[in-house]
Amino acid sequence: MLRMIRMLSLSAVIAVSSTVLIWNRNNFAATLPAGSESKRFVFDSTKSLENWTITGDVTIDMAKSRQGKGCSLKIGPGGKALLKLRDSDESGKIEVWISDDGTTPEDAKGRRVGPRWGLVQSDGNVLAVGILYANYLGGDEGYTATAFDGRQWYNQLFWLGVRRAPVGWHKWTFDFDPEVGLQVFHNDRQVNAVDSRKTGLKGFSSFAVWGDEDKGRKQTIWLADMSVTLGGPVKIPPMVEADPYDARALAAETTTSFPIIIHTKENATARPRLQELPLKRSVAQHGITWTFQEPVRVGRFVNGDWYVVGPVTIKALDPKPLYGSEIPKRELDRMDRERNEEHRIRNGFMLNPPASMKVAYDSGVRNWFTPSLIQKLPVTMKPGDSLVSTISMHKNLVLHAQLRNKIERGVGDSSPIRTAVVLTCVFEPQPADAFRPGFCDRQQRIYLARNLKRELLPRAVATPSIPNIQQYIRFTQRPWVGTCFFGFEEPVENMPQYGLEYGRVVGISAMLLCTDLKPEQKEPLLVNFIQVGIDLGGIILAGHPGWTGWGGHGSGRKLPIVFAGLLLGDNELANINNSFPGVSFGEDEQTAYGDCWTGAKVVFAGHSGIDAATGAGRSRGNGWGPYEHTPPSQWKQGQNTSESYRRCCTSVGWVAQALALRLMHAEKAWNHDAFFDYIDRWMYEDDTAFVKTIREATGRDHDKEWARQGQAWDAFVNEMWAKHRSMLEAPTDGWKQKHDDSYYRKAMAKTQK
C-alpha cells in the first residue's frame, strides 16, 4: 500500500520554520508597482535571500550557474522557499530558470512528490509545475502541473507533455494575463495542457519552490535568473451556463418559429413568380444575418430556411467572421494556440462545404480543420450553391447539448461551434412546400411536402412517458451539418454531440412520428426530420464514406435517410445500403449474425465492428473488432472495451430506431436483418448469468442498473417496446435462430490489424 504523502500547507511552512528570514514586505512590494518593468533576481550572495521566506535545505550555490556567470539558488530535498510579492491576488508574469539533473527515485511509479515551483494565491491555493510520480504519471520522463489546494498535491493534475530530457536548465514562464488568465510556457513555448479556469487561481500574490521529498534517492534542483513583473486586477469574464433546449428556450423558439402547415396535393400552392418574392437587402435566421451587395429576391423553404434567387453577393455577415489577430487573445483555446496566427478563425463560413471530413468554420476544431478552406467576404453565390454560416462558442460559455453532455470550448473533445445556418441560392422561386436541398447536394434535388407518404406512418398508441414533442421539434429544427466525426465540428445548438445521443434523438423522433399524436402536432417534427434525412442523404450522394463503427460515435445517421427516402418515395435514399453498399453506418457495422458465447445467434461485432467497404473486422490495433464468438476467459483489454461500449453507449440508444422501423415494416429497406435480431436479443436475453461469468473471468463488473440488457436508455422507449413489440408480426426469437453467418466468419478471417 502506498504511503500517504504528508505535506505542509504554505501557511504552515511560514509559521513553523525555525529558519525563517524576516523581511520588509511593504518595502519590497513597493519596488514592484503594477505595470512596472521586470525586477530581476540574481542569487550571488546570502543577501539575495533577504526577501525570501525559507525553510529546510535552501542555500546559495556559488559554484552553480546557468551560463557560466553568477550563482544560483539551491533547493535540496525537503527545502522550501517563498517570495511574497504583494497582499492581493492580481495578474503578472514570472520567468525563472530551473536546473533538472534528471534524478529519479528508485520506484518511479510509486506515489511521490518531487521538486515543484509555481504561483501561490493568498488563500494558499497553488499552481505549480514540476515532477510528480504515480503509476499513472511519467514523472521520470516529463513534467506535470498540479493545482494544489493546500491539502493534496494530486488534487488537479495536468500532464504537460514536456520532457525532462535533456538534463540541464529549463526556462519556465508563468504569465497571468488580466483578461486571458494563467498561461504557462516551457522554453518560451506555451504549454496548452494547463487550463487556467481549472487551476482555482484568480491571480497570485507569491512565488514558491518546493524541494524533492526527503526519502530514498533524492533530487536537488537549482533556480537562476528570475524576473518578476506585476500587473493589475484580473478581469476574466465569468462562466455562463445555458441550456438551449430547456422549457424557457423552447417557449422562445415557439414564439419565433416559422409557421408550418400540412401541405398536401389537395391544398398545394403554385410556384410564386419572381416579382412576388420580397426584395431584401438582408435576411436573418437563428442569430446569423446575411447582408447582400444589392437587394435580392428571397423566399423560404417549408422548414423556414432562407433561399435567394441568384446570383447574389454577400458583403457582410453578423456575427462578423474574425481572422488571425482579430480574435481577442482571451478567446484563444489550446487548438488555436497550436496553429499559425493566419490560420485562426471564428464565426467562419463555407461555400459548398465538401462531403468529406474537412471544415474551416473555426480553428478550434480538432482533427478536421483545414486552413486551405478558409474563405473571406465578399462571397458570390450562384444558383446551385449553399452557404453554411456559423457562430462560434465563446470561451466562457458552457452549453447543454441534446439529452446529455455539457460542451465547453477547448475542453476535451468539445465542438467550438455554437450554431450553423444554411443559405441556399436557387435558379427560380420555390413552392411553399419545397424542402431545402441538401447542403452538399450540388444538383439541388427539390422534394415537396405535398408528396410525403404520410400513410406509411403507423398510429401506435403512445405510452404515459411520451416526451414533449416540442423538444424534439427543437432538436431537429436547425441543420445537422456534421460532415466529420467524433462531434468535433458539430454545432452544439443544432445537433447531438455524441453517437449515443444521436441514436436516441433520431430513434425517439421516429417513434413520436409513429404514434397516435394528432397530425398537426407531428407535422413540424415530420418536416424537420425529413430535412435531416435529406441533408444526411445528400452528404452520402456527394461521396461521403459514412460514419463508421467507433464505440458509440457512428450511430444514428442511417435512420433519417431511410425514413426520408420512404416518405418521399425516393428509392435511392430509402434503400441506402443497396444504393451505396460500401458506406459505413455504425449500427450495421457493429451487428452481425454469428455464434455468440452466450448461445445467441447474433452478435455485437465490437467497438469498431466490421468495415462495410472491405468486409474485414476492424481491430484498430487494440483488439476492437469482432469478439463475442470467444468466451470472456479469452478476452483481453480490447474485448473488454468492446463489451463496455456494447452496454454503455450503443445498444441502449438503438432500441427506438429498431422499434420505429418495425412499426413501419421498413426492415427490407433497412437491409440489415442482424440489427433487428440483435436488438431483440438485447431486450429479451437474460444476461444475469452472463454478467457473473464476465466478472469471474475478467474482473469487470457490468451488474449495474444502467449496464444491463433488457432496457433502452429512455423510459418512453421501454414503455413503447413493452406495449408494441410483441404485437408485431415479426418473430421475437430471431436472435435464437441459426442464420447465414458467412459474413461474420469472413470478417474474422481478414481482420484489419
Structural contact between residues 724 and 712, judged by C-beta atoms closer than 8 angstroms? no
Structural contact between residues 236 and 179, judged by C-beta atoms closer than 8 angstroms? yes
What is the average per-residue pLDDT within 673-678? 98
Q: How far apart are CA 183 and CA 519, in angstroms?
A: 56
Question: Cβ atoms within 10 A of the Cβ of 134, count?
Answer: 17
Q: How far apart are CA 450 and CA 611, in angstroms?
A: 38
Give the type of residue at 319: P
Q: pLDDT-derived band of residue 131, with 50, 70 and 90 as boundaries?
A: very high
Q: How far apart are CA 382 and CA 313, in angstroms?
A: 9
What is the average per-residue pLDDT within 258-271? 90
* Cα–Cα nearest to 608, from 553, 689, 549: 549
* Cα–Cα nearest to 363, from 381, 382, 384, 347: 347
Is domain 10-230 in CATH 2.60.120.200, yes or no?
Answer: yes
Classify residue 188 as left (phi > 0), alpha (psi -120 to 50) or beta: left
Lowest mean per-residue pLDDT among 29-43, 264-278, 577-591, 615-629: 29-43
Q: How far apart are CA 359 and CA 176, in angstroms?
A: 33
Domain segments of the chain as ranges: 10-230, 241-444, 498-753
Residue whose entry in the numeric block shows the C-alpha cell 492581493: 88
pLDDT at 2: 29
Say what angle helices 558-568 and 519-541 make with each other, to 10 degrees.
110
- Note if the bond before 378 is cis, omega within 30 degrees: yes
Phi/psi at 202 (5° precision) = -110, 10
pLDDT at 150: 82
What is the average per-residue pLDDT within 24-34? 44
pLDDT at 19: 36
Q: How far is CA 529 from CA 82, 446, 504, 717, in A?
A: 62, 16, 13, 18
Structural contact between residues 594 and 616, judged by C-beta atoms closer than 8 angstroms? no
- pLDDT tens digit sequence for 30-61: 445 455 568 999 898 878 888 899 999 999 99
Q: How far apart are CA 413 and CA 496, in angstroms?
A: 14
pLDDT at 37: 67
pLDDT at 209 over 60: yes
pLDDT at 503: 98
User: Percent of the chain scored above 90 by pLDDT?
Assistant: 87
pTM of the model: 0.88
Q: How far is CA 264 from CA 258, 428, 454, 565, 686, in A?
A: 18, 22, 10, 18, 47
pLDDT at 580 over 60: yes
* Cα–Cα nearest to 116, from 10, 4, 1: 10
What is the average per-residue pLDDT within 115-125? 97
Q: pLDDT-derived band of residue 212, with 50, 70 and 90 as boundaries?
A: very high
* Cα–Cα nearest to 353, from 446, 478, 477, 479: 479
Q: How far apart are CA 578 and CA 672, in angstroms?
A: 10
3-class SS letters over 581-637:
CCCEEHHHHCEEECCCCCCCCEEECCCCCECCCCCCEECCCCCCCCCCCCCHHHCCH
* Cα–Cα nearest to 243, from 58, 407, 486: 407
Give one DSSP letter per residue of 130-143, joined into a string: EEEEBTTB-TTTEE
pLDDT at 236 over 90: no
Name the grid cell of 455: 400513410
Averaged pLDDT score across all residues of the chain: 93
